[in-house]
Structure 1
Amino acid sequence: MTDFSSLPLPDLPVRPVLGEVADALAEHGTTVLVAPPGTGKTTLVPLALAQRGLRVVVAEPRRLATRAAARRMAQLVGEDVGERVGYSVRGERVRGPRTVVEVVTSGLLVRRLQADPELSGVDVVVLDECHERHLDADLLLALLLDARDGLRPDLRLLATSATIAATRAAEVLGGAPVLHAQARTYPVEHRYLPPNPGERIEACVARAVRTALDEQDGDVLTFLPGAGEIRRVAAALAGLSDVDVLPLHGRLPHAEQDSALREGKRRKVVLATAVAESSLTVPGVRAVVDSGMSRVSRVDTRRGLAGLATVRVSQAGAEQRAGRAGRQGPGIAYRCWPEHEHSTLPAFAEPEIRTAELTRLALELACWGTPDGSALTWWDEPPTGPLAAGHEVLRGLGALDPDGAVTGRGRRMAELGLHPRLARALLDGTERAGLRAASEVVALLDDDTVTSESDVDSALARLRRGGPGTDRWRRESRRLAGRAEKPTRQGRADAAEIVALAFPERVARRRAADSPIYLMASGTAVEVPTGSPLRHAEWLAVAVADRSPGAAHGTVRLAAPADEGLARRVAAPLLSARDEVRWSGGDVRAVREERIGAITVDSRPLREPDPALVRAALLDGLRVDGLELVRWSQDAVRLRDRIGFLHSALGEPWPAVDDDSLLSDVDSWLEPELSRARKRADLARISAAGGLRRLIPWSQAARFDELAPESVEVPSGSRIKIDYSGDRPVLPVKVQEVFGWRQVPMLAGGRIPLVLHLLSPAGRPAAVTSDLESFWATGYPQVRADLRGRYPKHPWPTDPTTALPTRKTRR
């Protein structure tokens, strides 16, 4: 092994604890090192361990940080990268036979561990920036702990971070000791520059950058959520003189990344993503501008949309960003949000394992032999719902068998280092479209930041001609072509078919002619942006779609024009035919529908629908449009009111007859007429009165007219119908017709007195009473005084209790 013992290490804040770190690892096997950015933990610690004769692998969460860390360590050693210090990222490996310190991405180390669970030739794994809680890093930690428990008890694990939850990390690592290194920092002032009304965040950030350049010396480090925002802010700052505006994110060519990380001759403004929070050191920074936004993985399981979402930065993240201004002297941090909102920011960023789509994690767990992950020790266990959804996707791709065990195809997909959906598109797309076409489309889908077009075909045409992002896309296309198997036959599938192979549930059809809204097979509606050439397509194969909070539909970000034939081929497992009988448009609609998921592709009238389905549709119609669909004569309405009165007055066995009760007990009163009905017109022929009579309790049927008579004979000899529609039964009757009555009739077996609405000779209300004796004594004299002058031809005796009742005048 190459000797590092004589290597002089620079005097950085982590240097005093390097010996303690090595000793703790030797004694306990696991250790936690908490050290702020700029202390040298990423570069000095691995070199110090190598000085003790150990072979070290450093796992970084990002490719940019992986390359930067390797270059910095190689510089300290005085060699080129690839000699004693090397690195490996997907598609790029720079190392040699003398390499003893290798920096790799967490995801790549997971793949290496799957191929070699003993991790042969490695003495120490350094898990850098654990606090960021990336999904690959959490999985890597769980697998390393499992390998250490079973196969490699001598494997040493060191977790390093700037703001790690040390207690929890030490617990996960089996009671590991926790060491601290203190950074030499300077005070940082916080200034709040929120957006003006109607101002976009990019404009606010550009304004803050200009303020920082005017008020501070040194360079300005700006935090933005993604490459798109970086491009827009760079355009807004294009007029700056004597200042270099440099982007910094993981998708840039290496030369551009190096420019942002080197001290230059002129002042510079570095426009960075969250990669610069802790994984990298940007020299010369005296001011930080923070947009307050971050881009994280999110999954909308219900709508079938997964991808990156822009969220507010956490308080811990904001503090870490601000701290970048205080590394070389007093600094200032400009925050693009109101000061009063700072306390409302989440305390810490949500771990990716709780929010991300877990199909890839599910495949790695299946390859490890524990599909549900229950045999592993986790920082945070994978949530069962998203993990089960991942298993379902993998079964559909043929990566898992029905018992959840990984298949040979699944292992092949995992080896490609792609998301399982993209691995499926590469494997099957190669057979259908050829190796070159499949690898080019998959390379685009795996890194859609290489294009701003929404149309896959247009994006591919531009990338093939050359331009921004072409070199990276071509490198990845060649890598994928080298990993995929040569096709046994040459197909003629287009780009849309390869997209649909990855996302069959995202084939989409236009909802209506000239509409920008499409319905995906998953059931989610998405909208094509204004001006996109995709708006002319009847069908789409959607690759990327997202939904803003509160938006009615998702938005298509990348898709390819398709057709029904393609949808039927690729989404064949989602194809189904079923009889659809439902209440629609005010009548029963009976059709045989052919669907791709939620998309109806064909619909024909059904001649002989299932009677049970028809009955269910009619019931839905009654619930939606009301019981008025059946025939309600005046007799039926009065019968319902009488039964309802007895239910209210006496209770059981008299049934409730409100709408909800009648709809919930259709079998008791509408059968058999309902079973013979086939459409709305049949309902209109059903007599509600006949059905209601079935509800009268058999034991009480003989007493029905006694308990709730339809009408009552008054002293004049008239027979008058009782009104049961209100809270109390009412008898509307003229005053002269009840002369001689001393008490009102009692209903419901003597429990409820009839309410008399006493009318004038013209039929207008004169008085209301259910106590005739009291009315004749006290109320009648006033009524007599009011009415005798208006109706002189009618009798108005002074003693109505002894007068003869009449329907006529005095004559």
Structure 2
Amino acid sequence: MTPAVFDLATIGAGLSFAAAVDEVSAALDTSGSVVVTAPPGTGKTTLVPPLVASRRSGRVIVTQPRRVAARAAARRLAHLDGSPLGARVGFSVRGERTAGPETQVEFVTAGVLLRRMLDDPGLDGVGAVIIDEVHERALETDLLIGLLSEVRQLRDDLVVVAMSATLDAERLAAVLGTEETPAPIVDHDVPAFPLAERWAPSPVPRLDERGVTWGFLDHVAAVTVSAARDLVREKPDADVLVFAPGAREVAEIARRVRDAGDRFDVRELHGRIPPAEQDAVIRGRTPQDRPRIIITTSLAESSLTVPGVRLVVDTCLSRYPQRDAARGMTGLVTSAAPRSSCVQRAGRATRQGPGAVIRCVDERSYAAAPARPVPELAVVDLADAALLLACWGAPGGNGLRMIDPLPAAHLADAIAVLHGLGAIDDEGRATAEGRALAGIPTDPR
């Protein structure tokens, strides 16, 4: 497949990251791997894939940590390119694929690419892989970085680009580069519009032994409605974005806001709603539409950009996977969101002008939250990861250049599980049964 010809000027119109295109091009002239950092909403996910596709032969694969983000990014690029979705630009997620032989930029989830690599370790026909949202430190993304570093030792023509809103760029550049020369870093920053910070601590606890309390959700909804009323009086074209830890809390806050009876268009945004509804939120609204209150999960923290937002209401809570030592499996827990995540959430209010954030905690609790998210590989069950690495031929990640090694104790437990399932042999290599299990996107058990 010859290099694509994308109209970068048209695609990048109005996007801040358009100013960094020449710098990315210069980095690609000197290196087969590049690290790109830029704030959410600047346009890196929209511009970097067609830029790379215009310079390299072969398909460009772009990974996203979530299905909704992969679909949305593909739809947006296809729209800006003026081509039908599934033609020059497509996507593949679990259970859904809109791409064909002529597709030049394909958005996928990291899990889809990992399992594709087990069948095609050399990535035949692929000219570049762009790994987006690396800062989230999802386990599948970390594994991809390790596997792709090994592929590049055999294919020096394969371009690898890692992109993130916030990350330790120097550390990642060392992993993606060579022993002697780290990958070049393109750091695109933009002057931020003013952000007003307000604090609205809840009179009741946010969490109890069952999870998020109903009283706290009442508080978040009340704060949202009051602030939205004030906002639309001053800025009728502005929208409100509310961050909740999960789909259940999104639905509960949305119900409470609707019950308040105001003439707001209340929308939910998370991975469980139909794609058409997701697209409607991301498209924004016309001046004739009612002001919107969008309640979302961390999905809109950096993976998706919602236009028109000038106020963010943040629960300052996150839901993330964590290994249950008693069961030896991974479950979901809810706790204080890392401060870096809260900063990204607040930044959604200042993408198009001055904005405000209301954090539903007190300043002391906020300051006590973790500074950054813990990498998933440090806290989740590793059975699926260990099986994938065994199928790849690198048991335990041996020989792979990864950002962090797999924790020894968790890895030993995972290997014991795989032995019990007959998925690996005594030397840690995948058996026929193990390879069959690896093709199923769920826990090997």
Report if TM-score (shorter chain) is over 0.5: yes
Deviation string for 1:583-605 (max 9, x for gaps)? xxxxxxxxxxxxxxxxxxxxxxx
Determine the structure 2 residue equivalent to 1:107: 111
Partner of 2:87: 83
Are the counterparts in 2 of residues 209 and 289 from structure 1 also a CA contact under 8 Å? yes
Over residues 651-706 of structure 1, what are the superposed CA-to-partner deviations in whole Å (9 max), with x where a residue is unaligned? xxxxxxxxxxxxxxxxxxxxxxxxxxxxxxxxxxxxxxxxxxxxxxxxxxxxxxxx
1:214 to 208, 225, 229: 229
The aligned residue for residue 223 of structure 1 is 243
Which residue is equivalent to 1:637?
A: none
SS in 2 for 1:194: coil
Q: Pick from 171, 180, 183: which aligns with 2:187?
A: 180
Aligned residues: CA RMSD: 1.5
Q: Do 1:301 and 1:386's aligned partners in 2 also have CA atoms closer than 8 Å?
A: no
Matched with 2:410 is 386
Question: In the aligned structure 1, how far is the partner of 2:132 from the partner of 2:94?
Answer: 18
Query: Residue 366 of structure 2 aligns with which residue?
Result: 342
Report the counterpart of residue 142 of structure 2 in structure 1.
138
Instruction: Report SS of the residue matched to 2:245.
Output: coil
AA at the equivalent of 1:4: V
1:15 maps to which residue? Answer: 18
Spell out the pairing of 1:484-633 with structure 2 (5 A cutoff).
Answer: none
Report the alpha carbon displacement of residue 202 of structure 1 after superposing the two structures with TM.
Answer: 1.1
User: Superposed, which structure 2 residues align to 1:705-716 within 5 Å?
Assistant: none
Distance 2:204 2:294 in 1: 26
For residues 94 and 85 of structure 2, what CA distance do their matches in structure 1 show? 17
Contact 1:25-1:158 within 8 A present in 2 as well:
no
User: CA offsets, 1:746-781, max 9 Å, x none?
Assistant: xxxxxxxxxxxxxxxxxxxxxxxxxxxxxxxxxxxx
Structure 2 CA distance, aligned partners of 1:124 and 1:165?
22
1:171 to 170, 174, 186: 174
Shift of residue 183, structure 1, vs aligned partner: 2.9
Deviation track 1:54-111 (CA, whole Å, cap 9, x = no partner) reads: 4311111111110010001001101221010000001111012221011110111111
Q: Which amino acid aligns with 1:196?
A: P
> 1:321 pairs with 321, 336, 345, which one?
345
Give me the whole-angstrom Cα distance separating, in 2, the residues matched to 1:74 and 1:416: 30
- 1:120 offset after TM fit, Å? 1.0
Deviation >4 Å, runs of 4+: none
1:184 deviates by 5.0
State the shift of 1:20 in Å. 2.1
Residue matched to 1:250: 271
1:97 to 101, 109, 115: 101
Provide the residue aligned with 2:210 in structure 1.
none
Q: What code does the residue aligned with 2:186 have?
A: L
2:64 is matched by which residue type in structure 1?
Answer: E
**1:32 counterpart = 2:32:** no
Judge conservation of contact 2:6–2:81 (CA < 8 Å) in 1: no
**Matches of 1:359 and 1:88 in 2, distance apart?**
25
Deviation at 1:418, TM superposition (A): 2.2
Q: Give yes or no for contact 1:185–1:326 (8 Å, CA) kept in 2.
A: yes
Query: Secondary structure at the residue paired with 1:277?
Result: helix
Distance (Å, rounded) in 2 between the aligned partners of 1:2 and 1:24 = 18
Contact 1:62 1:105 (C-alpha < 8 Å) held by counterparts: yes
More divergent stretch after superposition (355-364 vs 403-412)? 403-412
Q: What is the rounded CA distance, in whole Å, between the counterparts of 1:196 and 1:202 in structure 2?
A: 11
Note the C-alpha offset of 1:5: 4.8
Cα gap change, 1:197 to 1:52, in 2 (>3 Å): closer
Counterpart of 1:262 in structure 2 is: 283
Shift of 1:159: 0.9
Could you give the per-residue CA deviations for residues 216-266 of structure 1, whole angstroms, max 9, x where no partner exists?
231111111111111111121122332111111112211121122121222
What letter is aligned with 1:251?
R
2:224 is paired with a residue whose SS is helix
Q: Distance in 2 between matches of 1:133 and 1:5?
A: 31
Equivalent position of 2:218 in the other structure: 203
For residues 607-662 of structure 1, the C-alpha deviation after alignment (integer angstroms, 9 at most, x for no partner) is xxxxxxxxxxxxxxxxxxxxxxxxxxxxxxxxxxxxxxxxxxxxxxxxxxxxxxxx
Contact 1:74 1:84 in 2 (8 A): yes
Q: TM-score, normalised by structure 2?
A: 0.91
Secondary structure of the residue that 2:190 maps to in structure 1? Answer: coil
Counterpart in 1 of 2:441?
A: 417
- Structure 1, 303-312 or 104-113: larger mean CA deviation: 303-312
Structure 2 match to 1:194? 201
| Identical aligned residues as a percent | 45
Within the alignment, does 1:285 sit opposite 2:309 as a pair? yes
Does the 8 A contact of 1:227 with 1:273 survive in 2?
Answer: yes
Q: Which amino acid aligns with 1:314?
A: P
CA 1:2–1:368 in structure 2 vs 1: closer, same or farther (change >3 Å)?
A: closer
Using CA pairs under 8 Å that are at least 6 residues apart, name the structure with larger relative contact order, 1 or 2: 2
What letter matches 2:275 in structure 1? H
The 5 Å alignment of 1:148-159 reads 148-149=152-153, 151-159=154-162
Q: Is the 8 A contact 2:3 2:54 kept in 1?
A: no
2: CA distance, partners of 1:311 / 1:6? 44
Query: SS of the counterpart of 2:397?
Result: coil
> Contact between 2:6 and 2:50, CA under 8 Å: does it hold in 1?
no
Unaligned runs of 5+ in 1: 422-811
Question: What corresponds to 1:4 in structure 2?
Answer: 5
Q: Aligned to 2:306, what secondary structure does the other structure show?
A: coil
| Partner secondary structure for residue 158 of structure 1 | strand
Task: Tell me the residue number matched to 1:47.
Answer: 50
Question: What letter is aligned with 1:115?
Answer: D
Q: What amino acid does structure 2 have at the position aligned with 1:375? A: G
Q: CA deviation at 1:2?
A: 6.9
> For residue 366 of structure 1, what is the aligned residue in structure 2?
390
The equivalent of 2:208 in structure 1 is none
Cα distance in structure 1, aligned partners of 2:155 and 2:230: 55
Amino acid at match of 1:295: R
| Paired residues of 1:25 and 1:157 also in contact (CA < 8 A) | no
Q: Which has the larger radius of gyration?
A: 1
SS at match of 2:129: strand
Aligned match for 1:233, one of 250, 253, 266: 253
**Partners of 1:224 and 1:273 within 8 A in 2:** yes
Q: Are 1:32 and 1:169, in contact at CA under 8 Å, matched by a contact in 2?
A: yes
> Alpha-carbon deviations, 1:443-498, whole Å to 9, x = none?
xxxxxxxxxxxxxxxxxxxxxxxxxxxxxxxxxxxxxxxxxxxxxxxxxxxxxxxx
- Count of aligned pairs between the two proteins: 420
SS of 2:258's partner is coil
Residue 21 of structure 1 deviates from its aligned partner by: 1.1
Cα-to-partner distance string for 1:372-426 (whole Å, 9 max, x where unaligned): 21211110111011111111111222211233221111101111222212xxxxx
